[in-house]
Amino acid sequence: MLGMLEFNPELDFKLLLAVPLIPFFGYLLQISLRGRLPHGDKILTGGMFVVMCITVYMAAKAISAAHAGVPFLHHSEEAGMTHGWLYDVASQPSFKNLVIGVFYDPLGAAMLAVVGIVSFCVHLFSMGYMHGDKRYPIFFANISLFTFAMLGLVLSDNILFLFVFWEIMGLMSYLLIGHFSHDPSQKFFHSWATWASKKAFLTTRVGDVCLFIGIFIFYNGFQEFYATSAAAHAALPEFHPMRFTHMWEMAKLVVEANDGIYPTWMTVGGMFTIGGTVGKSAQFPLHIWLPDAMAGPTPVSAMIHAATMVAAGVFLLGRMFPLLSPDVLAAVTVFGSVTALFAATIGLTCYDLKAVLAYSTISQLGFMVAAVGLGSVEAGMFHMTTHAFFKACLFLAAGSVIHGCHHIQDMRVMGGIRKKMPITFACMLVCTMAIAGLPWFSGFFSKDAILLAAWGNLIEGEYFGGPPLLALICLSLGALFTSFYMFRLIFMTFFGEYRGDMEHHMYSAQLAAEGYEGPPPHGHDDDHGHDDHDDHGHDAHHGVHESPLVMTAALVIVAIFAIPGAAGLLNGWFTETVTVENMYGENVGAWVLAGTPVMEGTKEVLVGGLPMAIADHNSHEGHDAHKLALIVSSIVAFGGLIGAWFLYIKRRDLPGKLTAQFPLVYTGVRRKYFIDEIVDFTVLKPTVGFARFLRKVDENVIDGTVLLVGRIHKALGSISAWIDSTFVDGAVNAVGLVSQNLGAALRLFQTGRIQPYAAFAVGGGILTAAWLILS
Amino acid sequence: MPLGAYIAVSAALFAIGIVTIITRRNVLYILMGTEMILNAANINFVAFNRFGSNGLDGRMFAIFTIILAAAEAAVALAIVLNFYYLFNSVKPSEADLLRE
């Protein structure tokens, strides 16, 4: 049994290589057959099932290795599986060569398993949710390539290939968000999807450019350092400046050579690098694309919000953590904290089911980013893992609700559907408890670890204040709001009475004021009739119904990871496996730990898992931070729950009164702080205006110049044409005319008769003789 | 008789031959004109031989020319015959194929 869980480079790297290749070949097959692959959806989902099994098996190896205390940083070099991008590896061992391979470490193991499980569930769910869609096969192909990109990103051993997969993911998010832009029958989504996909692509592109610049700065800096440093040559005889492991080593050497201070270029490079995270992980101010990304089909939202896309930004932080200087981390903390609070407040006022979840994702990503900024990279990565499961479940459950309510997303026309959709309700409730951070649910462990990091930074840091204080306040409030709006979502959607059929209810006036025109047409259901919906039969168009088995099965699989027992197990595995030493190797890990004082005091707490820590926290010294964190996170979790219950169950008239009391605040938050309008005004309008101006310049100045040159040439041409026709042709014609006239004259003498010829001959002879005699 | 008289006769004969060739409307007269020109030359040969050298060169040339003229007349008559076949006429003004 233990032998099976030992890492065997020869075999396991082949298995790991198969992980991204399975969805990739699925995509190729589906696309090259133009979606005519019979049972393509089942084949691709089956492929994802295999991927999930491999990733989970591999993660088990990582966990067992960590348990045994064996270092678990594996590069495919061990199995001889590397590829020289520019030259052959053996013949040209130059540091200018880009040698690519597969990298498998505890963080990658965790991430890979998350992506494998969530992607499989999303595939499974899509088989039910997307059934009858006009571009169903293409949807499956695209979502497979999306998964491939994320899996490849996780397994990349160097930053450049991470960037390549990062970009593939950007493209696939564009295609998937814009899935309905080719389907005019989906009236609600059609134009929005086109706009949203462009917005997502262009907004993340800003971050991507920053990341690319950051990569260049680090590449250049490390190469220059390596060229001059003997210590670097000693530590790394063979240096690949793009490879993560070498970048970490080199960061340590650079900082040590600089008396323990990060040089300025590393700070600059780090700032650009986190720009990539800000764009991809939807941090303020580049978060605007994520709420609009829900224009895509709901499984895509689940994918983007949980396993791929946004997780990639946080994963990048995990990979680049040793390279980030304290200044960069402070910036990261501020970005994350502000985003966490800011997005949570917007979530309070949204009525669209998916919009609440979208803002909750932004907020939770803020938590993760802030955690990395606070130096607790493990907490950030752990929150990413737990969040991936419960947010995938929440989105899939939301998709199930939307599917059950015939593509209505507005919570104001839902309500009381818990009895009609019991499985969906149960899964959503579990995951809501997890995201709210109720004790022993998965979000509790990870969010608590983040708050702990903030407290620890404050207590053990040099002074009380600065980014950690901001983070503590923002994150605590953010957690409170998270709990509140998530239970608000539950209460509005699943409790009370169903408002979809009611003529007049408490939100009627508000909906009418916003121009709500009732449910959108049931195009989705009409497309495939009732054949596939035997379980709910003829009442499909009238009542709310539970979703088919494939969808609920997918929901249950991801929900399992949020429930207390499984979450505790996950917490135990994760905290033991993904530690700084395990992530970055002993050498770099010790250095990273030494640089982040907060980790010293709290590490032991994290390792045992929090339930253990709660039991014996009195027996340890220096655990004040943990006590405080625990108290705060429990208070905010239950505070939000009770607040939501009070406002949306007990006193339902209160929210309306409150919003009437503070109209300015409410409108500001409801309109998402006018960020879209500000961006529209400061970026889009000037850009479009500038483009118009350039077009004018192009049309008038450039085209004018070209036309002027043309006109000048035309005039010159007509002059030379005149000269040509007059003088040149004239000369030729004159020659011709002269010859013609001369010929005509000479013709007169050419009679053809011999007697005149003889006369001419004799006359000529006489004249010649006369001339000879007379001269 | 002085040499000039011979030359004068020869010149006159030559002139008559030329005029005959140029002006006559019959091919046969043109042939006759040629004969006159040849004979004008013969007179010159004989006359210059009489007054100039001591040998028989001039007379030999004259005899040679007479033989040549006979041959030429035979050829010329053949031409005239063909001429007649071709144009169905003996007028030299009818033959203007050289223009073509």
Is A602 in contact with A454 (CB distance < 8 Å)?
A: no
Q: With pLDDT > 70 as the criterion, what percentage of chain A qualifies?
A: 87
CA distance A719 to chain B (A): 46
Do A252 and A591 form a contact (C-beta atoms < 8 A)? Answer: yes
Averaged pLDDT for residues A261-268:
87
pLDDT at A272 over 60: yes
Tell me what pLDDT residue A515 has.
61
Q: Specify the pLDDT at position A2.
A: 54
Confidence of residue A76 (pLDDT cuts 50, 70, 90): confident
Q: How far apart are CA A194 and CA A179, in angstroms?
A: 8
Nearest to B22 among A750, A752, A755 (CB): A755
In the predicted structure, residue A304 carries a pLDDT above the cut 90: no
Q: Taking CB atoms and an 8 Å limit, are A754 and B100 in contact across chains?
A: no
- Chain A nearest CA to B55, separation (Å): 30
Give the mean model confidence (pLDDT) for residues A594-601.
53
Name which of A752, A758, A759 is nearest B96 (Cβ-Cβ): A752
Query: Which residues in B lie closer than 8 A to residue A752 (C-beta atoms)?
Result: 95-100
Residue A531: band (very low, low, confident or very high) from pLDDT cuts 50, 70, 90: very low
Cα atoms found within 13 Å of the Cα of residue A509, Cβ hemisphere only: 2
Query: Would you call B98 and A752 a contact, using CB atoms and an 8 Å cutoff?
Result: yes
CB-closest option in B18, B96, B97 to A762: B18
Name the minimum distance, in Å, from the CA of B14 to any CA of chain A: 11
DSSP letters along A576-607, please? HHS-HHHHHHHHHHHHHHHH-HHHHHHHHHHH
| Closest B-chain CA to A760 | B22
Interface of B with A in 15-54 (CB under 8 A): 18, 21-23, 30
Residue whose C-alpha is closest to residue A285's, from A667, A679, A665: A679
**Which tens digit of pLDDT belongs to each residue from B25-84?**
888 898 899 999 999 999 998 888 888 777 788 888 899 999 999 999 999 999 999 989
Question: Does residue A263 have a pLDDT over 50?
Answer: yes
Q: Of the candidates A750, A753, A759, which has its C-beta nearest B93's C-beta?
A: A753
- Taking CA atoms, what residue in A is nearest to B97? A752
C-alpha A167/C-alpha A8 separation (Å) is: 31
Give the gap in angstroms from C-alpha A760 to the nearest C-alpha of chain B: 10
Please give the interface size between A and B, counted as residue pairs whose CB atoms are below 8 Å apart.
31
Record: contact B92-A751, CB cut-off 8 A = no
Cβ contact, residue pair B99, A752, below 8 Å: yes
> How far is the C-alpha of A6 from the C-alpha of A64, rounded, in Å?
8
The confidence score (pLDDT) of residue A214 equals: 92
B21 and A750 within 8 Å at the Cβ level: the answer is no
d(CA B24, CA B19): 8
Of the candidates A428, A298, A305, A442, the one whose C-alpha atom is nearest the C-alpha of residue A363 is: A305
Instruction: State pTM to two decimals.
Output: 0.74
CB A180 within 8 A of CB A189: yes
Of B22, B99, B100, the CB nearest to A758: B22
* Among the partner residues B92, B97, B100, nearest to A755 by beta-carbon distance: B92
User: Residue B23 and residue A750: Cβ atoms within 8 Å?
Assistant: no
Q: How far is CA A754 from the centre of its chain?
A: 106
Give the tokens for residue A382: 């752990």
Mutate to test the interface with B, among A748, A749, A751, A754 (most CBs of B within 10 A): A754
Measured distance CA(A576)–CA(A366) in Å, rounded: 24
Nearest to A352 by CA among A396, A410, A394: A410
Asked if the model's pLDDT at residue A436 lies above 80, the reply is: yes
Q: What is the pLDDT of residue A235?
A: 80
Is the model's pLDDT at A540 over the cut of 50?
no
| Pairwise CA distance, residues B81 & A330, whole Å | 130
- CA-nearest residue to B21 within chain A is A755
A750 and B22: CB-CB below 8 Å? no
Query: Could you tell me which residue, A423 or A600, shows the higher pLDDT?
Result: A423
B96–A762 C-beta distance less than 8 A: no
- Closest residue in A to B94 (Cα) is A753
Q: Which amino acid is at A150?
A: M
Element (H, E) at A614: helix A610-616
Q: Do B95 and A759 touch (CB under 8 A)?
A: no
Spell out the residues 6+ positions from residue B78 whose beta carbon is closer than 8 angstroms to its own.
none
- For the stretch A637-660, pLDDT in tens is 888 888 888 877 777 777 777 777
Longest dimension (CA), chain A: 156
pLDDT tens readout for residues A136-162: 888 888 888 999 999 999 998 888 889
Closest among A630, A568, A579 to A604, alpha carbons compared: A579
Which of A747, A755, A757, A766 would best serve as a mutation to test chain B binding (most B beta carbons within 10 A)? A755
What torsion, rounded to 10 degrees, do the Cα atoms A28, A30, A35, A36 define?
120
d(C-alpha A570, C-alpha A558), whole Å: 13
Q: What is the pLDDT of residue B13?
A: 93
The rounded distance, in Å, linking the Cα atoms of A153 and A173 is 15
Chain B residues close to A750, C-beta within 8 Å: 98-99
Across the interface, whether the CB atoms of A755 and B18 are under 8 A apart is answered no
| Alpha carbons A723 and A94: distance in angstroms, whole number | 68
Sign of CA dihedral A96, A102, A106, A109: positive
Question: Which chain B positions have a beta carbon within 8 Å of A754's beta carbon?
Answer: 92, 95, 98
Distance CA A475, CA A368 (A): 10
* Domain at B3-91, CATH from 1.10.3720.10, 1.20.120.450, 1.10.287.3510, 2.40.50.180: 1.10.287.3510
On whether the CB atoms of residues A320 and A268 are closer than 8 A, the answer is no
Contacts of A765 in chain B (CB under 8 A): none
Tokens 């500038």 correspond to what residue?
A: A690
Return the bridge partners of A82, or none.
Answer: A101
Domain regions of chain B by residue span: 3-91
Residue of B nearest to A765 (CA): B18
The Cα of B70 is separated from the nearest Cα of chain A by a number of Å equal to: 22
- Chain A residues whose C-beta is within 8 A of a chain B C-beta are 750-755, 757-759, 762
**Please, what sign has the CA dihedral across residues A30, A35, A39, A41?**
positive
Sequence-ordered list of residues with C-beta below 8 angstroms from that of A550, at least 6 positions apart, any chain: A124, A125, A127, A128
- Which of B22, B96, B99 is closest, CB to CB, to A762? B22
Q: Contact B98/A753, CB-based, under 8 Å?
A: yes
pLDDT tens for residues A98-126? 778 888 888 888 899 999 999 999 888 88
A617 DSSP 8-state letter = G
pLDDT at site A460: 66
- Contact between chains at A754 and B92 (C-beta distance less than 8 A): yes
B1 touches chain A (CB under 8 A): no
Who contacts A97 (Cβ-Cβ below 8 Å, separation ≥6)? A84, A85, A86, A87, A89, A240
Mean pLDDT of A318-329: 87
Sort out which chain B residues have CB atoms less than 8 A from A743's CB and list them. none
CB-based contact B30:B20 (threshold 8 Å): yes
| Mean predicted confidence (pLDDT) in A545-554 | 81
With beta carbons under 8 A apart, name residues in chain B contacting A761. none
Q: Which of A751, A755, A762 lies closest to B99 in CB terms? A: A751
- Helix (H/G/I), strand (E/B), else coil: B83: helix
Helix H segments across chain B? Answer: 3-23, 27-51, 57-87
Residue A757: closest CA among chain B residues belongs to which residue?
B22
ipTM of the complex: 0.84
Peptide bond into A285 cis (omega under 30): yes
The continuous run of DSSP H or E covering A103 comes out as strand A103-104
- Asked if B98 and A759 come within 8 Å (Cβ–Cβ), the reply is no
Residues on chain A touching B100 (C-beta within 8 angstroms): 752
Number of H helices, E strands in chain A: 33, 4
Nearest residue on chain A to B29, judged by CA atoms? A755
Chain A neighbors of B93, CB-CB under 8 A? 753, 755
Residues sharing a CB contact under 8 Å with residue A737, sequence separation 6 or more, in sequence order: none
- DSSP line for A142-196: HHHHHHHHHHHHHHBSBHHHHHHHHHHHHHHHHHHHGGGGG-TT-HHHHHHHHHH
| Chain A residues with beta carbon closer than 8 angstroms to that of B22 | 755, 758-759, 762
CA angle A74, A80, A86 (to 5 degrees): 105
What's the residue count for chain B? 100
pLDDT value of residue A602: 44
Least confident of A197-211, A345-359, A580-594: A580-594
The answer, yes or no, to whether residue A253 has pLDDT greater than 70, is yes
pLDDT band, very low/low/confident/very high, at A90 (cuts 50, 70, 90): low
End-to-end CA distance of chain A: 139
**Residue-level pLDDT at A616:** 43
Considering only CB atoms, B96 lies closest to which of A751, A758, A762, namely A751
Locate the chain A residue with the closest alpha carbon to B98.
A752
Burial A247-265 (b: 16+ CB within 10 A, else e): bbbbbbbbbeeeeeebeeb
